[in-house]
Amino acid sequence: MSDVSQGPGWWEASDGKWYPPEQSPAAQVPAAAPTGAYPSGPSSGPLASWGTRVLATLIDSAASTAVVFVGFILALIVGAISSTLGIVLGLVVYVVAFAAGIYFAYMNGACGQSPGKKIMGIKVVSEETGQVIGGGLGIVRALAHFVDGIICYVGFLFPLWDAKRQTLADKIMKTVVLSDLPKQELSPDLLKVH
């Protein structure tokens, strides 16, 4: 091929050669996705609705709350026997509930799903790659939700009107939440990272 353009639509690659229009990078780009769909990567699919995301969060919160409730009852019983043991058990319960929250955040990054998301069939992925973001970034994403709450919790409502259905934390972390994944039943497997 020559160093001179071969006509309209032909393009010069980085190797210095000219290629026909059907081989151009522009011809390789997929059409824009409709609102509510995420077109990239092997984990592509429709975006999760705000309601589905809220239900998944409530399921995760219920799990942590159940730990606190059971632990609180045990702390009251043990506290009746020994106030010191009751206080210690109460503190342990709160530490366990906090650890559960951190673990769920880790799961969101490591496999894209916390227990609530597994039950609801949704998954957190990078909007750029369509892949999970990793456990450490899952924890950072959970911390980024602070931004959603700092403005009177309006950031949590962004998925109601945002084209990519992202919260402010999702925008910061460049993540989206996909839906239509297989839903899992209530079982110990919900706590596994896979």
Helix 135-150 × helix 83-110 angle, to 10°: 110
Beta bridge partners of 125: 176
Q: What are phi and psi of 4, to 5 degrees?
A: -105, 140
What is the DSSP code string of 66-126?
HHHHHHHHHHHHHHHH-HHHHHHHHHHHHHHHHHHHHHHHHHHHHTS--HHHHHHT-EEEE
> Does residue 38 lie within any of the structural domains?
no
Residue 194 lies in a domain: no
In a domain, 80, yes or no: yes
* pTM confidence score: 0.71
Q: Provide the domain limits for residue 161.
A: 43-180
- Assess if residue 10 is contained within a domain: no
Is 111 domain-assigned?
Answer: yes
Q: Which of 113, 79, 108 is nearest to 93 (CA)?
A: 79
pLDDT per residue, tens digit, the chain (194 aa), is 455 544 455 556 666 665 555 555 555 544 444 455 544 444 467 999 999 999 999 999 998 788 788 888 888 888 888 888 878 888 888 888 899 899 999 999 999 999 999 999 999 999 989 899 999 999 999 999 999 999 899 999 999 999 899 999 999 999 999 998 999 998 888 888 87
Residues in contact with 151: Cβ distance below 8 Å, sequence separation at least 6, in sequence order: none
Q: Structurally, how many domains does the chain consist of? A: 1
